[in-house]
Amino acid sequence: MRQPRIPSPTGIYHVMLRGINRSDLFFDDMDFMKMKKILRSLSQPTVKPSGIKPSICHIYAYCLMTNHIHLLIAERDLPIGEIVRRIGISYVSYYNKRRDRSGTLFEGRFRSEPVGDFEYFCKLLNYIHMNPVKAGLCKKPEQYKWSSWQEYATPTINQDSAICEHKIPFSGMSEDQVREVVMSNNSSPEQFEQFTPPIEKFSKPLSAEESIAIVTELLPNGVNFSSIKEMNKVDRLELANKALERGVSYFFVNQHIGISRTTIYRNRIKLKSYT
């Protein structure tokens, strides 16, 4: 009898998907890029003429190997099984159409491990990104282009192509400290204990509606949400930083306040040089 899946107290899971009979899932760059596009469509909100379509989940890390996939992923409105089902359906439909085939592509049941605390979360961040190195595909994780390593290691990452949520659960950490956690082979979360958020703080990422409410609350008198980008850049930068402190994601700030992660990062570096 199939054992019931162990639920995560935080809503966060380490998910692994394998090709059926360990067969390859990706054969060329087009295949990898398609999977990245699918992950991004689920993990980031989209702006449509009818309004904002909230993200279905939050992805904190991913690694696309030739015959399997690692995801560090958080549920939102949908359970983890439905999220993974959507990933599978989208990719299999593309894969079969491209190769004129039919039938399943993934193993019958995906593997998932609940993530219950921040220490395990940090260890998984490193484990997932080091997977290609341990498999002998590269000597350093930055040499492998099909993981989220660059999203953490590069402060100038293009937000339009970003998949991962970086703000939650790292509220209170500088970007340098976040990168140290992700990139250290001997990651020791204890050294970042002062920044560790309560588990419930990163178990429930903000919805688009919640983000709008927070930003609206922070707006100066006489400015409404639809006219934010008419504000001068200094005021928008101040608004962006306040919103980030309240848990609003970088993606939302970039889309609706018009301030990129790069601008925020450079401004913080500039401020540090004067202190």
Domain borders along the chain are 12-204, 206-275
| Predicted structure pTM score | 0.67
Residue 270 host element (H or E): helix 261-273
The chain-wide mean pLDDT, for the chain, equals 81
- The predicted pLDDT at position 109 comes to 84
Contact 260, 252 (CB under 8 A): no
Residue 13 host element (H or E): strand 12-18
CATH topology of domain 12-204: Alpha-Beta Plaits (3.30.70)
Interval 47-100: pLDDT, tens: 666 666 667 888 989 999 999 999 999 887 678 999 999 999 999 999 999 999
Interval 96-109: pLDDT, tens: 999 999 999 998 88
Q: Which amino acid is at 214?
A: I
Q: Which of these, 206, 129, 125, lies nearest to 171 by C-alpha position?
A: 206
Q: Which residues pair with 114 in a beta bridge?
A: 13
Point out the residues of the chain with pLDDT beneath 70. 1-2, 46-54, 77, 155-160, 166-175, 178, 184-205, 250, 261-262, 265-266, 268-275
Q: For tokens 């080091």, what's the residue?
A: 130
pLDDT above 90 as % of the chain: 40
